[in-house]
Structure 1
Amino acid sequence: MVNQSLAFKVNLGIGKYSSGDHYAVLGLPVHAEASQIRKRYFNIAKILHPDVYGKSPQESDRACTYLAKLVSPAYNTLMQERERVEYQALLKLIAKRLMKRGEGLEPQSDVARLLATAPNDLNYEKAVRSLAEMQYQSLDKALDYTGQLSELNLVYVLAQSGYKPFASPIIAVSSPTVGSSIKTSTSSTSDSSVLKTNSFQHSAYKPPTSSYRSSEPEVKASGNSQSSNSSQAKSQIHLAEQYIEQKQWAFALKELRAVLQLDPSSSKCHALLGLVYVKQNLNSMAKVSFQQALKLNPQEPLALQYLKQLNLAKDADAKAQKPQKGGFFGWLGGGS
């Protein structure tokens, strides 16, 4: 009889160094929030439900087994805050140990090798989403996709921990599909290879710089440093705007705070920060950010728009809470 835990074992990426990769099982990035985890779980449960998935009794049973033995345990772990925090610490520990050992990372899947050339948040999330869409459509390939997701997670976790040798290989890809073979070569010339893939055609190779790169050494010349900071700040503002469009508030907040480290006088950054706070119902913090934006640029349109809305909402609340005269001895039903 086959041991079910062994049958569902993933030996790639994080799964190679841990008993399992819960985020890969659910097809999620390792920084997914509780609401994303819950939504993704119910989507998978719908796919694997025997009444939806089952074309035969055997397939229905198999789908139920995947849900009970693989998906639900991952969900139950990540939905407990303490367990999720401990698991995040485990991922960082795995990255730290690999870096300490000086082990070279050579992902087996095309999509993970591709991410390794530009391991920023946007590319990582796109790659995870592309695999997650296919992950449980065929149970014959579910573990293969989960392994590739786990490799993506390992590449990302290592990059966030400061692992640098990702950029050295030049990877030549000829219109691959997920899971296909890949050819790699190392070149000492200045020749810039053109890399093409369905998932990353427009942004994988010249992406906005993500904030994890802020740990890299600064340019020595003051003029170049100032120009470099300005360019990086603009790229990260652009990335933050993309996150805002996708309603990824936590990621947008991370990028905007990194921008303020580079350029604290950016009125647009302060205004976008205020917008993110508004979307998270943190109106007091939003108001401070909008006011700061207007100090730097009195004509900052976003700050003018939303600060006016906040002030109108505050006036409306104050009016609604103001005791009204009349009635039998006022609101308390009695007088002094």
Structure 2
Amino acid sequence: MSSKLERGLFKYDFIDHHAILCMPVDADAKDVRKRYLKIARRLHPDSNSTATDAEKKLASDLLSKLVNPAYEKLFSDKNRTEYMIVLSQMGKQFTQQSGTVELTTDLARQLAGTPNIDHAYRTAIAKIAETQFENLGQVIQIINLVSELNLVYLMRSAGKSLSAPPPPPPNPGVTSGNTGGTRTPSAPPPPPAPKEDTAVVMYIRRAEELISKNQFIPARVELQDALKLSPNNSRCHSLIGVVYLKQNQTTMAKVHFDRALQLDPQDPMALDGKRKLEKILGQKSGNAKPATATASTGAKSADKSGGSGLFGGLFGGKKK
């Protein structure tokens, strides 16, 4: 393999295993295995019976030196969690150094300015994956391209758009034409939303996606990062309470549900979580008295009247 992996995340001395497998950076273990098996079949010697010796050697090198290590890193829950934490930190660093980030491909520059980043990013990755290993001589070049797309996605997901800012609006209050230059009073423009708000929204969105896939450890990392930026965000506290409850860490779940209710006494997720938590703790006690049983029954009725409950309705509509 004469070509080098030197663009995108590789440029920053980081091995972009997602780019090697041509997968989105938030791919789960199931998708990683499915993609790996497809690539391994393509590069296996039995699938290249008509290839030249040089082509077989290149296929073997790609499989053993790039694809297999990428699969080992991303399929293991522990390795993938640690890897995702590093990726998240890199995304935040890139937002602070966006002026020094150089994009060398048109596709990466287009992705940097597209309004619907998630759809455009996933569509591009899926399209590239279809032909990634058709021409083995171009595989390294394709991996470099995908790594640039990953870099753009990380920066955009961290709340920083790489698109060029729109032109400034005309000077308010100045009329055009020969009217003596009279000025008309105008309301001041609203202050721009804090950058951290956008970042918090992205953290919450990724955490919700991870929770829906039962990937609780990386979801907790996302929410902890969100709370660093917005420590009084009731939804963050509610969601991380859900994560802790899913992991049977009832003490931490209670801390965050209580905090969410301090910030918003009507937070439906925190209220539902508290009911679930009280029910679990009541079952663990094992020696509940009749009065406690009555209270538990009441909580159970409240759950039924509340609809789908904490976990069933986590991503549903708002409760009325």
TM-score band w.r.t. shorter chain = 0.5 to 0.7
User: C-alpha separation between the residues in 1 aligned to 2:68 and 2:43?
Assistant: 18
Amino acid at match of 1:72: N
| Equivalent residue for 1:303, pick from 270, 274, 277 | 270
Match of residue 106, structure 1, among 100, 103, 112 = 103
Per the TM alignment, residue 234 of structure 1 is displaced from its structure 2 partner at its CA by 8.6
Q: Give yes or no for the alignment of 1:148 onto 2:145.
A: yes
Compute the displacement of 1:282 (Å): 3.2
Q: Secondary structure at the match of 2:105?
A: coil
Matched, 1:12 2:12: no
Structure 1 residue aligned with 2:35, among 34, 43, 47? 43
Q: Distance in 2 between matches of 1:283 and 1:294?
A: 16
- When residues 283 and 142 of structure 1 are mapped into structure 2, their CA distance, relative to the original with a 3 A threshold, is farther
Q: Deviations over 1:205-246 (max 9, x none)?
A: xxxxxxxxxxxxxxxx9x947x75897599458735455445
Shift in Å at residue 44 of structure 1? 0.9
Please tell me the residue identity of whatever aligns with 2:110: L
| Counterpart-to-counterpart distance in 1, 2:161 and 2:129 | 30
Which one-letter code corresponds to 1:286 in the other structure? A
Contact kept in structure 1, 2:133 and 2:139, CA below 8 Å: yes
Distance between the aligned counterparts of 2:101 and 2:195, measured in 1? 31
Tell me the TM-score normalized by structure 1: 0.53
Work out which of the residue numbers 17, 20, 25 in structure 2 matches 1:25. 20
Change in CA separation of 1:17 and 1:248 when aligned onto 2, cut-off 3 Å: same
**Aligned-residue offset at 1:262:** 3.8
User: Secondary structure of 1:6's match?
Assistant: coil
2:38 counterpart of 1:71: no
1:233/1:267 CA distance change after superposition, 3 Å: farther
Distance across 1 between alignment mates of 2:121 and 2:214: 13
For structure 1, list consecutive stretches of 5 or more residues without a partner in the other structure. 170-186, 191-220, 321-336
Matches within 5 A, 1:160-171: 166-168=162-164
Q: C-alpha root-mean-square deviation of aligned residues, in Å? A: 5.2
Q: Share of identical aligned residues, percent?
A: 27
With over 3 angstroms needed to count, the CA separation of the structure-2 counterparts of 1:244 and 1:122, relative to structure 1, is: farther
Alignment of 1:282-297 (within 5 A): 282-297=249-264
1:70 maps to a residue whose letter is L
- Describe the SS at the equivalent of 2:286: helix
- How far has the Cα of 1:71 moved from its partner? 1.0
Name the SS for the 2:162 alignment partner.
helix
Q: CA deviation at 1:287?
A: 1.7
- State the AA in 1 paired with 2:146: L
Unaligned runs of 5+ in 2: 170-187, 288-320
Kindly indicate whether the alpha-carbon contact (under 8 Å) linking 1:271 and 1:302 is maintained by their aligned counterparts in 2.
yes
Q: What's the counterpart of residue 258 of structure 1?
A: 226
- Give the structure 2 partner of residue 134 of structure 1: 130
**Structure 2: which amino acid aligns with 1:126?**
R
Q: 1:189 to 1:291 in 2, by over 3 A?
A: closer
CA contact (8 A) 1:237 1:259 kept: no
Distance 1:20 1:234, change over 3 A: closer
- Number of residues paired by the alignment? 254
Q: Give the structure-2-normalised TM-score.
A: 0.55
Q: CA deviation at 1:108?
A: 0.8
Given that 1:49 and 1:64 are in contact with CA atoms closer than 8 Å, whether structure 2 keeps it comes out as no
Letter in 1 for 2:269: L
User: What is the match of residue 284 of structure 2?
Assistant: 317
Deviations 1:93-145 (A, max 9, x none): xx88x959x756133141x2133236999579736753674365635464343
1:294–1:303 Cα contact (<8 Å) kept: yes
Cα 1:299/1:103, change in 2 over 3 Å: closer
Task: State the alpha-carbon separation in 1 of the partners of residues 21 and 265 from structure 2.
Answer: 46
